[in-house]
Amino acid sequence: MDAIAFDRVTLARAGRIVLTDVSAAIRPGEFIGVFGPNGAGKTTLLHAVLGLLQPVSGALRVFGATPMRGNDEAGYLPQTRTPSPDLRLRGRDFVASAFRGERFGLPRLGRDGRREVDWAIETVEAKALAYRVLRELSGGELQRLHLAQALLGKPKLLLLDEPLTGLDPHFQEAAVALVKRIQRSRGITVLFTAHELNPLLGAMDRVLYLGQGRAALGTVDEVITGEVLSRLYGARIEVLRGNGRILVASGRGPVESDVHRHDV
Ligand SMILES: Nc1ncnc2c1ncn2[C@@H]1O[C@H](COP(=O)(O)OP(=O)(O)OP(=O)(O)O)[C@@H](O)[C@H]1O
Ligand SMILES: [Mg+2]
C-alpha cells in the first residue's frame, strides 16, 4: 500500500485552483523533498494530506484511507509556527502543550502522556532544552522543540513545512540530519518542504516539485532538469551541477535565491 496516493487530484483555495490533476504515489518510508516557488501549493498539498482541505476532484488516500483531520497517523510542523508561545514556558511544557492538538493551556498528562513527551524530546535530541525557558532558546533550538511536538502520537507520516526557514547553513544541515535519523530509525514517511535543494540532497529519496498548477515526482536526476523545471516555472530554467551541488537558474539569475529575497 502507498503511504500517500494522489489520483488526479485537483486542489483549490478560496475557489482558485492551485494544483490540477496531480497523480503521484509516495511509498512508506520515503523521504520526499517538496519544492516549488512561493504560492506553488506546497502548504496546500500538506493541508490536503492532513485532511484539512478536501480535493475539488480526484482521490487522495493516506495509508489507504481518506485523510481525516485530527488523525494521529500524521505529525505536522506548520509553516506558520505557534503564533506566540508563552515564552516563560519551559521546553518540556511547550512540547506537552501540543499533546493531542491541545495548543492552549497545559494538558494534564497521565504517565503514558508524560512518557511520550519525554520520548519526543529525546528523539529530537533536546534533553538539554527540556527545563530551559523558551525565551532563552535560539531559533534553531525552538525549532527542535517544534519538531518534538510533531512527533507526539508517534506518527507514521511526518509533514514538515519549511523547517529550515531562519536556520543558518550549519543548523540546516543538523536539522536535515536529525529528520533523516528519525525517518530511518522509525521507518516513517517524510514530506519536507524547502526552498533550497542543496541542504536536502543527501537526505531525500525523491523530489516532488510543484509549479504552474502541476507536479513532478521522481529522483533528483529525473526532476531537477532544465526541461522539467522550465515546464513547472513557465520560463526557461537552467540547471547547473558542480561539486555535488545544484544551481537552478533562470535568465535573471539563481531561482532559489530569488525566492529567498521574497522571504526577507
Ligand atoms: N487560506 C487561503 N485562502 C485563500 N488562498 C490561499 C490560502 N492559502 C493559500 N492560498 C493561495 O493558494 C496558493 C498556494 O498557496 P500555498 O500556501 O500552498 O503555497 P506554497 O507553495 O506553500 O508557498 P510558500 O513557498 O510561499 O509557502 C497561493 O496562490 C495562495 O495565495
Ligand atoms: Mg507554504
For residue range 63-84, what is the model confidence (pLDDT) as tens digits? Answer: 999 998 877 789 999 987 665 6
203 secondary structure, DSSP code:
T
Residue 22 lies inside a defined structural domain of this protein: no
230 φ, ψ (degrees, to nearest 5)? -65, -35
Least confident of 31-45, 139-153, 180-194: 139-153
209 φ, ψ (degrees, to nearest 5)? -110, 130
Q: Return the pLDDT at 113.
A: 86
> Do residues 146 and 81 lie in contact, with contact meaning Cβ atoms separated by under 8 Å?
yes
Q: How far apart are CA 163 and CA 75, in angstroms?
A: 13
Does 11 or 250 have the greater pLDDT score?
11
Q: Which three cell numbers stand for residue 133?
A: 525557558
Burial of residue 251 (number of CB atoms within 10 Å: 0-12, 13-18, 19+): exposed
Q: Which of 118, 160, 131 is nearest to 143 (CA)?
A: 160
Residue 60 lies inside a defined structural domain of this protein: no
Alpha carbon of 57 to ligand 2 centroid (Å): 22
Q: Which atom of ligand 1 is the closest one to the Cα of 37?
A: 25
Q: How far apart are CA 213 and CA 235, in angstroms?
A: 14
Residue 9 lies inside a defined structural domain of this protein: no
pTM of the model: 0.91
Average pLDDT, the chain: 90
Q: Return the pLDDT at 106.
A: 59
Residue 180 lies inside a defined structural domain of this protein: yes
The ligand minimizing its distance to the Cα of 209 is 1
For residue 237, give the CATH number of its domain: 3.40.50.300
Alpha carbon of 226 to ligand 2 centroid (Å): 23
Residue 136 lies inside a defined structural domain of this protein: yes
pLDDT at 104 over 70: no
Does 261 or 214 have the greater pLDDT score?
214
Task: Kindly state the percentage of the chain with pLDDT values over 90.
Answer: 73
Bridging pattern class, strands 237-242 and 157-161: unpaired
Domain housing 221: 29-53+72-263
Q: Which three cell numbers stand for residue 123?
A: 528523539
Residue 21 lies inside a defined structural domain of this protein: no
> Do residues 78 and 50 lie in contact, with contact meaning Cβ atoms separated by under 8 Å?
no
Question: For the chain, what is the domain count?
Answer: 1
